[in-house]
Amino acid sequence: MTEPFSELYTKPRYQYIEWIDSCSGDSWNTVDVELAGAYRENIKTVGFLLKENKDWVCICNSMNADGDNLGRLWIPKVAIKKRKDIKFK
């Protein structure tokens, strides 16, 4: 598990995550037609790690000194292909 929110700003943890995006069809077609046009995008994301549990990871792209954050993204762990901490000197 990640650290409490009060410690996120003083000890931020940055992560690089590669994950497979979901897709959907929004028109009336047969399954074969939908599958022929479907494609899954590989996404690369970098951000502050906010929280995680056994099913998902939550990161954000911006955070202030109070721990308020912006641009939160919940990524299902089953979609994650690669994940690593980013260390800054």
Lowest mean pLDDT among 18-27, 32-41, 53-62: 32-41
- 8-state DSSP, 21: P
Distance from C-alpha of 12 to C-alpha of 8, rounded to nearest angstrom: 5
pLDDT score for 22: 83
Bridge partners of 85, per DSSP, are 15
Percent of the chain with pLDDT over 90: 51
Give the residue extent of every domain in the chain: 5-86
Residue-wise pLDDT tens digits, 38-51: 667 899 999 999 99
Q: Is the pLDDT of residue 3 over 80?
A: no
pTM: 0.74
Residue 73 has pLDDT above 90, yes or no: yes
- Three-state secondary-structure class, residue 66: coil
